[in-house]
A and B are shown apart, each in its own frame.
Chain A
Amino acid sequence: MSPQSPKKAKKRAEGANSNVFSMFEQAQIQEFKEAFTIMDQNRDGFIDKSDLRDTFAALGRVNVKQEEIDEMLKEAPGPVNFTVFLTMFGEKLKGADPEETILNAFKVFDPEATGILKKDYVTDMLTTQADRFSPEEMEQMFLAFPPDVAGNLDYKNLVYIITHGEDKDQE
């Protein structure tokens, strides 16, 4: 998976047109609108930048990188309204990483395929490179998916739970 270049992203935003609504079916647009509205807390028709990522997530299936969002937002004239939202991200509103892909990503760090990774190693791996996790984010993840007493993280379980989500809800 090659990261999209910022230049490319910039181009897309520039080439946006008001015909974006024609890209989608009515029902889809309504669904996007709902997601948008959830985030638009004060119902003034705009959401701020920090809400954008969450808005995608509402649709549950978005393949947008943080860097790209940031780049695009730099281009945006101001607060994001629904049309701008659709325009900027229209094409991206499909697909999600399948379970297999994420598992393989973890396996890169677990070449012997033991199914577990050391907590410290995971921390190192995620907080020191690429789109670095902040310490808080790392802590949150371990809170949600605690390693065992020996410090091992069962990543297969983690991936399964996140991918299959609601079914595995336990109180």
Chain B
Amino acid sequence: MGCGISLNNDYSLIKKTERAMKAAVLIQRWYRQYVARMEVRRRCTWTIFQSIEYAGEQDQIKLQNFFTYLMDHFTPTNSNQRDLIAHIFTEDEIYKETELEKYFDHESIELPESYTGPHIDFPLTAAHAASLVEAFRHKQQLHARYVLQLLHETLKHLKLLPNINRVCTCFCEEITICGDLHGQLDDLLLIFYKNGLPSVEKPYIFNGDYVDRGKNSIEILLILFAFLLVYPNEVHMNRGNHEDYIVNLRYGFTKEVMQKYKMHGRKIHKLLQIVFSWMPLATVIDQKVLITHGGISDTTDLDIIAKVDRHKYVSVLRPPKKKKRHNMAEALSIRGGRTSEGDIQTTNMDSRPSLRRLSLTSTLCYSPGTRKRSPHDISRKVRRSVEEELEKCRRQVGFSEPYEDGKFSLSFSESDSESFEVCESDNAEWKQIVDILWSDPMHQEGCVPNAVRGGGCYYGPDVTEKVLSRHNIQLLIRSHECKQDGYEFCHNRKVLTIFSASNYYELGSNRGAYVKLGPDLIPHLVQYQVSRTTRKLTMKQRVSRVERSALRALREQLFSHKSDLISAFEKYDKNKTGRISLNDWATVVESVLHLGLPWRVLRSQLVQSAPEGLLEYHAWFDDLAIEQPTTEHVHQSLLETLYRNRSNLETIFRIIDSDNSGLVSFEEFCQTWKLLSSHLNMEISNEAISDLARSIDFNKDGSIDINEFLEAFRLVDKIHYTEREGSLLLTTPGDLL
């Protein structure tokens, strides 16, 4: 009896245990799937940001072409504008030291009584540098007088430095190496907080990309330059691809300088151009660790790099400056940039992560604009034909009578994309520099030209192995690419990417990191993330937030391509039902946007409803945004152009707005639009432009407030509007690196 009962008990116990286990399995599996889904969403979001970032680079290409066009056709209406544009777009000959002092004379700038910002004095002391850090932490601004002085001293120092800094760990415990900061002052402050300010005991190496995108690019530069001057043996700065005025035009640094410094902005900007060109290109620690911004290529040769005249490369995107000829300032050498190999090979594009991107250089090839004949033109032509025999890849540009009749115009020689006779060594040298600043590592072996960035390569583990061993180097530390965890090893841990701008795409998108190297040269990594809220976000919340931001950016992309999308939809909708299948929708969207995104996976986030698997595509666009821009009578294509070129337009307006009043005149406004539209081969009637202008609130004598103008076209989406930053518009991913 007892046995029977206990047997029963045993049996039910066994059953119970089994049930419990099965239940546990179910729960565990189900929960893990949930976590995995989060991970997928996160990766998907990352892909979105990176795709749009790449698409944004195409915008840069367009912007450059537009600036070129602008230079050709824009008639400055006053001397201020002319000077400004001349400033920005011309690469004058190499200044002599005395000329520099005179030109960038800071003494003449008075400090107003009302100035409450930091004061510095030269020679700079650690206290000065620290005071700058504190002042900027409290959102103060350094006066232009001091800025110019600091930049000038920095330039003097930089000129003494070699192309490749040689550093040794013997005098200190550890060297700290930081990656991209991109104007994110909070990250630099956090690094200093965690790691300490630079000092004799605390050496630092900064690996480029200090500016653009973030709001405090100039402050970061000033802090770093200050420490550079105070601790010249312990602080080292490499040049990044963003230390380049052409890139700055597009990605926000120019804008920041103009806005903060107004009438002094021009000089500061100009001096910065020169400062950037004098920044060293790489740093080597103990002859064993190479630190450079982008990376390498299969032809990288440090001995060649060590010998170049680096300051010839004011913008690395352009061929090296030539010395002044014939008393004519050599302006705007727009180039048809090619690497020494000539054509950009786009081998095996499908396996490249960046296949979506267009070649930067191939579109930098200037499309011939109208040519203005002048006597100089002819003599230049003769000269050119001679040079073309000797050299490759160079475009001659010169001023026609400068400043005559209060106007200037530039004549461009025709695109020399056909003939390439640049001097071999010039081009090879240039390629060396572009490669180290623009290249990215890839998983596959080999070395293929980086068809997007237009210069530099994608280098594989075999290239790393070859180049590093050729120079007896054991580790390459580089930056240039945003990484989820702030850092990433690859190529058998021979390459370390270090990225120091946390929350780069969006709050919560990624961490930042810095690396410390002691005499053992073993990297110790420190990660961090700037966070305005102390509340710890759950994974789900983090993922959701970043995802929302990415989706918002994506919606904007969709919206700004509405016309193209609709006409493509209509091709699939032969019967004009106004509907297409979801599968076709995905195909169309990819074919128009070229973002290479998983549209089917994203569909549920982008398409609200599709009864019977069919989408009403006209209505769908309405769903993308609730608050349509206020100008509904404005031509659709005009609107889209505006959307796609928003940040470009803003940059242009700020340049035109030479007195930094925030206002442009009606005429200037229309003129810019006309230029933009003819450049883009768009038909825009005067009436359409007037309509556009009229729809914006005019204040003060028919001038247009730039900010109001941009605000008027803000796209607000109903479901996912957040109050994250008031300037949703001005920091959209379209402005991304």
Contacts and interface: CB of A to CB of B under 8 A. Distances in A.
Given A44-B444, A126-B27, A140-B539, A56 B33 contact: yes
B543 to A, nearest CB: 10
Interface SS of chain B: helix
B306 interface: no
A42 B444 CA distance: 9
A101 interface: yes
B28 A131 contact: yes
B544 interface: yes
B350 interface: yes
B20 A56 contact: no
Interface SS of chain A: helix
A43 B351 contact: yes
Contacts of B21: 129-130
A171 B40 contact: no
A35 interface: yes
Interface string B35-52: 111011001100100000
A38 B601 contact: yes
Which of A26, A42, A132: most chain B CB closer than 10 A?
A42
B26 A45 contact: no
Contacts of A37: 598
Nearest to B354: A43
A38 B24 contact: no
Interface string B326-353: 0000000000000000000000001111
Given A1-B26, A144-B539, A108 B601 contact: no
A35 B47 CA distance: 12
Nearest to B43: A38
Contacts of A35: 40, 598, 601
Nearest to A52: B36
A21 B607 CA distance: 27
B40 A39 contact: yes
A106 interface: yes
A143 B114 CA distance: 51
Contacts of B35: 137, 140
Contacts of B30: 97, 102, 105, 162
A31 B583 CA distance: 9
B33 A30 contact: no
Contacts of A132: 28
B25 interface: yes
B40 A58 contact: yes
Contacts of B32: 53, 66, 131, 137
Interface string B1-21: 000000000000000000111
B618 interface: no
A44 to B, nearest CB: 6
A169 interface: yes
Nearest to A132: B28
A96 B29 CA distance: 11
Contacts of B28: 126, 130-133
Interface residues of A, number: 51
B443 A58 contact: no
A79 B31 CA distance: 26
Which of A97, A109, A137, A144: most chain B CB closer than 10 A?
A144
A101 to B, nearest CB: 7
Which of B21, B37, B47, B599: most chain A CB closer than 10 A?
B37
Contacts of B582: 27
A13 interface: no
A131 B601 CA distance: 29
A89 B192 CA distance: 50
A30 B583 contact: yes
Contacts of A108: 19-20, 23
Given A30-B600, A38-B47, A105 B539 contact: no
A62 interface: yes
Nearest to A104: B23
A57 interface: yes
B596 to A, nearest CB: 9
B103 interface: no
Given A30-B600, A53-B32, A131-B25, A42 B443 contact: yes
B442 A42 contact: yes
Interface of A: 1, 3, 26-27, 30-31, 34-35, 37-39, 41-45, 53-58, 60, 62, 65-66, 96-97, 101-102, 104-106, 108-109, 125-126, 129-133, 137, 140-141, 143-144, 162, 169-171
Considering the complex of A and B, which 10 residue pairs feature the smallest CB-CB distances, nearest first?
A: A57-B36, A34-B598, A108-B23, A105-B23, A58-B40, A57-B37, A130-B25, A105-B26, A130-B24, A42-B443
25 contacts: A31-B600, A31-B601, A34-B598, A38-B40, A38-B47, A38-B598, A42-B353, A42-B442, A54-B39, A54-B40, A57-B39, A58-B40, A58-B44, A65-B29, A105-B26, A108-B19, A125-B20, A130-B22, A130-B24, A130-B25, A132-B28, A137-B35, A140-B539, A169-B544, A171-B541
Given A102-B27, A144-B538, 19 more contacts: A27-B583, A31-B601, A34-B601, A42-B444, A44-B444, A53-B33, A54-B36, A54-B43, A55-B40, A56-B33, A65-B29, A66-B32, A105-B26, A106-B27, A126-B24, A126-B27, A131-B28, A140-B539, A171-B722
